[in-house]
Structure 1
Amino acid sequence: MIGLIPAGGMATRLGPLPCSKELLPVGAFVTPDGMRPRPVITYLLAQWQRASIERALIVVRPGKWDIPAYLGDGRAFGPNLAYLTVHEPHGAAYTLAAALPFLAGETVALGLPDVILVPDDVYATLVAHHTAHQPDLTLGLFPCPTPQTADMVALAGDQRRVTAIEIKPAQTHLQWTWMAAIWSPTVTDVLAEVVAADRLARQQEPNRVELHIGVVFQAAIARGLRVDGVIFPQGSALDIGTPAGWAAVTASNGAPPRLTP
Structure 2
Amino acid sequence: MTHSGLCNVAILAGGMGTRLKVRTGNLPKPMAPIHGRPVLEHQIELCRRHGFTRIALLVHYEHETIHAHFGDGAAFGVELTYCIEGEARGTAGALSDALSSMDERFLVLYGDTYADIDLRAIWKRHADTQAAATLLLHPNDHPHDSDLVEVDADGRVIAVHPYPHPEGSAFRNLVNAALYVMDRQRLSSLIPTDRKSDLAKHTFPAMLSAGLRLHAHITPEYIKDMGTPERLDKVERDITVGLPERLSTRSPRTAVFLDRDGTINVEVNHLNSPDQLALIPGAGDAVRALNRAGVLAVGVTNQPVVARGEVSMAGLERIHAKLDHLLGQSKAFLDGLYVCPHHPHKGFPGEVPELKIECDCRKPRTGLIDRAVRDLAIDRRSSWIVGDTSSDIEAGRRAGLRTVLVRTGHAGLDGKQNVSPDYVVPDLAAAVDWILRGHSSVARQLFSVCAAATTSRLVLVGGPARAGKTSAAQVLAELMTAAGRTSHVISLDGWLLPGEARAEGHGVLDRYDMPTARALLQSLLLASDRREIRVPEHDRKNRTLRAGAPRSIGPNDLLVVEGVTALMDDALLAQTDVRVFVDVPDDIRRERLQAEYAWRGDDPATVAHRLASRERDELPAVRASAARATHHLQSI
TM value normalised by structure 2: 0.34
Query: Aligned-pair distance for 1:148?
Result: 4.1
SS in 1 for 2:187: helix
2:33, 2:39 within 8 Å by CA — same for their partners in 1? yes
Distance 1:38 1:221 in 2: 38
Q: Secondary structure at the match of 1:3?
A: strand
Q: 1:110 aligns with which of 108, 111, 121?
A: 108
Gaps of 5+ in 1: 28-36, 203-209
Match of 2:204 among 212, 217, 222: 217
Alignment partner, residue 161 of structure 2 = 166
Instruction: Supply the distance in 2 between the matched residues of 1:183 and 1:225 (Cα, whole angstroms).
Output: 12
8 Å Cα contact 2:115/2:223 also seen in 1: yes
Kindly indicate whether residue 33 of structure 2 is the aligned counterpart of residue 25 of structure 1: yes
Q: Give 2:134's match in structure 1, choosing from 130, 138, 158.
A: 138
Equivalent of 1:15 in 7, 13, 21: 21
Structure 1 segment 185-224 matched on structure 2, within 5 A: 185-190=184-189, 193-196=190-193, 199=194, 202=195, 210-214=196-200, 215-224=202-211
Matches for 1:27-106 after TM superposition, within 5 Å: 27=35, 37-103=36-102, 106=104
- Cα gap change, 1:13/1:195 in structure 2, threshold over 3 Å: closer, same or farther? farther
Identity within the alignment, %:
26
Moved over 4 A (4+): 250-261
Partner residue of 1:155?
151
User: Against the structure 1 CA distance between its residues 224 and 10, is the aligned structure 2 distance closer, same or farther, given a 3 Å change threshold?
Assistant: same
Alpha-carbon spacing, 1:172–1:81, altered in 2? closer, same or farther (3 Å): farther
Amino acid at match of 1:7: A
Q: Does the Cα contact within 8 Å between 1:147 and 1:168 map onto a contact in 2?
A: no
Deviation at 1:90, TM superposition (A): 3.2
Q: Which residue of 1 aligns with 2:234?
A: 248
Give the root-mean-square deviation of aligned CA atoms: 2.5
Question: TM-score of the superposition, structure 1-length normalised?
Answer: 0.79
- 2:9 maps to 3
Q: Does 1:228 align with 2:215?
A: yes
Instruction: Tell me the distance in 2 between the aligned counterparts of 1:150 and 1:129.
Output: 24
Greater RCO (CA < 8 Å, at least 6 residues apart): 1
Q: How much has 1:253 moved relative to structure 2?
A: 9.0
For residues 250 and 140 of structure 1, do their structure 2 counterparts lie closer, same or farther at Cα, with a shift above 3 Å needed? closer
Aligned-partner Cα distance in 1 for 2:105–2:216: 17
Q: How many residues align?
A: 234
In 2, Cα distance between equivalents of 1:256 and 1:58? 28
Q: Deviations 1:91-124 (Å, cap 9, x if unpaired)?
A: 2222212213323x62121011221123x42x11
Which among 219, 223, 247 is matched to residue 237 of structure 1?
A: 223
CA separation of 1:140 and 1:249: change in aligned 2, threshold 3 A = closer
Q: Distance in 1 between matches of 2:181 and 2:211?
A: 17
Find the aligned partners of 1:223 and 1:41 in 2 and give their Cα distance. 33
Contact preservation (8 Å) 2:139, 2:175 = yes
Q: Which runs of 5+ in 2 are unaligned?
A: 3-7, 245-290, 293-331, 333-636
Conserved in 2, the CA contact under 8 Å of 1:51 and 1:127? no
**1:31 alignment partner in structure 2:** none
Say which structure is richer in helix. 2
Q: Do the aligned residues in 1 keep the contact of 2:72 with 2:79 (CA within 8 Å)?
A: yes
Structure 2 vs 1, CA of residues 189 and 12 (structure 1 numbering), >3 Å: closer, same or farther?
A: same
Could you tell me how far apart the structure 1 residues matched to 2:164 and 2:229 are? 19
Asked whether the 8 Å contact 1:116–1:256 carries over to 2, the reply is no
